[in-house]
């Protein structure tokens, strides 16, 4: 009896291991993995670009490259006017101090936005890691600058004080790493850099911080075979501590974007305007000209809350997720304009979230005749949501896409209550909007009509 129990237990462990190890290191296999459901339900996340580039905080997070590689004039002039001739990019690192960084405070701001996940840059193309990477000696936040594990603090606070999921960004390549440059000179026939730097770091951040989004970037024009991307992803999906829930993007080597991986990003600020067959994400930034913080950014470069809500609505209507970026300061602050935008998004989602979270794309994305109307759908409730980006001046709106039936179809203004409607020919319905004062409006920026009993 004991022998049989041991044998059965051994067989069970073997079966569990076999079931786990279902993905092999080929794109055909990796691409066959279903996307964990939580990601599509979440719809909205916050991107955080933070690093040594936050110290000059001038122009772009690509500051080092533009200054020393491309020698773009405004960057060269900025350095000549403000720093001694022998000043190097590495000299910025001690000034990346993060003395005001409070991970709980950040968590409270992120939670107030209505986002369901964050994605923090653990390492951008500059190579500086926000944790004490063993493979980035003296070029990490524990050795230089804040002398703190910023990734660890953010991960702990997020899990202790919110229900948000942790996502981590990681750049595959590094602009000026001599090992990468050596491999590039060899036309990527050698792989000194990925085997000694990139891959050890990827394995480390996954096992140490257990992110549920792994946001890869920066292939350096090297193919996925150079990065051993399918080998790493097979481990991530089969054996990593986050194998059941982790989602990844499509930036795993030259030619993989919009073709292979988990969800597609296709390009920065990607907005196709129509439904895609594959799950996708629009990663964009509140500062329209930079992902990192810019001290010299004028107000006109920041997107308004109306623009941000519109972007969220269009993205979700077309089946995507929105990843909205902020750039904190070198001393660890989220600038008031970023905080205001995040809290405004949370106010809007507090009223209209039912039209965003846990929805799917409907058969029509935007109305064929009425401008600035986008649709989402909640199958469990058989509810169609029509989101109006502008409040109609004439007090009515015609929805041409839904098929409504008198006595069956009900229409409500979310946050207010039931509305009257009348059929229009040849199809559709005219919704009579209430005459509300400014203080009576359910929200300030875009308004949601909830339709039930319609198709």
pLDDT of residue 18: 44
Longest dimension (CA), the chain: 83
pLDDT of residue 134: 94
What is the rounded average pLDDT of the residues 295-304? 97
Beta pairing class for 447-452 and 410-413: antiparallel
DSSP letters for 134-148: TTSTTSBTTTSTT-S
For the stretch 81-102, pLDDT in tens is: 999 999 999 999 999 999 999 9
Comparing CA positions, the residue from 265, 368, 364, 362 lying closest to residue 320 is 265
**Measured distance CA(150)–CA(121) in Å, rounded:** 10
Is 50 exceeded by the pLDDT of residue 15? no
Is 60 exceeded by the pLDDT of residue 371? yes
Q: Measuring CA to CA, how many Å separate 262 from each of 235, 247, 293?
A: 14, 6, 29
**Measured distance CA(59)–CA(38) in Å, rounded:** 36
Is 70 exceeded by the pLDDT of residue 140? yes
Using pLDDT thresholds of 50, 70 and 90, give the confidence band for residue 437: very high
The proportion of the chain whose per-residue pLDDT surpasses 90, expressed as a percent, equals 93
pLDDT of residue 242: 98
* Helix 150-161 / helix 199-209 crossing angle, nearest 10 deg: 30
Can you give the pTM of this predicted structure? 0.94
Using pLDDT thresholds of 50, 70 and 90, give the confidence band for residue 2: very low
Is 80 exceeded by the pLDDT of residue 183? yes
Which region among 2-16, 63-77, 264-278, 331-345 has the lowest average model confidence (pLDDT)? 2-16
* DSSP code at position 219: -
Beta pairing class for 213-217 and 247-248: parallel
Is 50 exceeded by the pLDDT of residue 57? yes
Per the CB < 8 A criterion, the answer to whether 96 and 143 are in contact is no
Beta pairing class for 44-48 and 117-123: parallel
Comparing CA positions, the residue from 443, 454, 275, 245 lying closest to residue 354 is 443
What is the rounded average pLDDT of the residues 394-411? 96
């Amino acid at each position: 009896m004991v022998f049989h129990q041991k044998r059965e237990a051994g067989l069970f462990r073997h079966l569990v291991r076999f079931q786990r190890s279902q993905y092999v290191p080929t794109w055909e296999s990796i691409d066959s993995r279903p996307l964990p459901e939580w990601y599509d339900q979440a719809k909205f996340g916050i991107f955080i670009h933070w690093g040594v580039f936050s110290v000059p905080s001038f122009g772009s997070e690509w500051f080092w490259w533009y200054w020393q590689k491309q020698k773009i004039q405004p960057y060269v002039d900025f350095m000549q006017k403000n720093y001694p001739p022998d000043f190097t990019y590495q000299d910025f690192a001690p000034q990346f101090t993060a003395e005001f960084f409070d991970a709980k405070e950040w968590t409270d701001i992120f939670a107030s936005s209505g986002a369901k996940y964050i994605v923090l840059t653990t390492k951008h193309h500059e190579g500086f890691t926000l944790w004490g990477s063993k493979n980035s000696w003296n070029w990490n936040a524990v050795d230089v600058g804040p002398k703190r594990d910023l990734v660890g603090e953010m991960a702990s606070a997020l899990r202790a004080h919110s229900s948000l999921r942790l996502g981590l960004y990681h750049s595959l390549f590094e602009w000026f790493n001599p090992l990468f440059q050596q491999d590039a000179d060899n036309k990527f026939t050698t792989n000194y850099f990925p085997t000694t730097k990139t891959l050890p770091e990827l394995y480390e951040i996954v096992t140490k911080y257990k992110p549920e989004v792994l946001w890869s970037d920066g292939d350096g024009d090297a193919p996925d075979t150079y990065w051993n991307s399918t080998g790493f992803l097979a481990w991530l999906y089969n054996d990593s501590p986050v194998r059941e829930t982790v989602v990844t993007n499509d930036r795993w080597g030259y030619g993989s974007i919009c073709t292979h991986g988990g969800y597609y990003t296709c390009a920065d600020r990607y907005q196709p305007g129509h439904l895609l067959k594959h799950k996708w994400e629009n990663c964009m930034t509140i500062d329209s000209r930079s992902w990192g913080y810019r001290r010299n950014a004028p107000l006109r470069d920041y997107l308004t809350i109306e623009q941000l809500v519109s972007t969220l609505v269009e993205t979700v209507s077309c089946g995507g997720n929105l990843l909205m970026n902020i750039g904190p300061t070198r001393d660890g602050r989220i600038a008031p304009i970023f905080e205001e935008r995040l809290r405004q998004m949370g106010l809007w989602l507090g009223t209209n979230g039912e039209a965003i979270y846990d929805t799917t794309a409907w058969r029509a994305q935007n109305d064929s005749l009425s401008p600035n109307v986008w649709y989402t759908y909640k199958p469990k409730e058989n509810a169609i949501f029509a989101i109006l980006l502008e409040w109609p001046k004439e007090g009515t709106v015609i929805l041409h896409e839904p098929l409504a039936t008198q006595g069956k179809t009900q229409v409500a203004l979310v946050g207010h209550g039931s509305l009257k409607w009348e059929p229009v020919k040849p199809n559709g319905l005219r919704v009579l909007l209430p005459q509300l004062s400014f203080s009576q409006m359910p929200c300030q920026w875009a308004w949601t009509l909830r339709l039930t009993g319609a198709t």
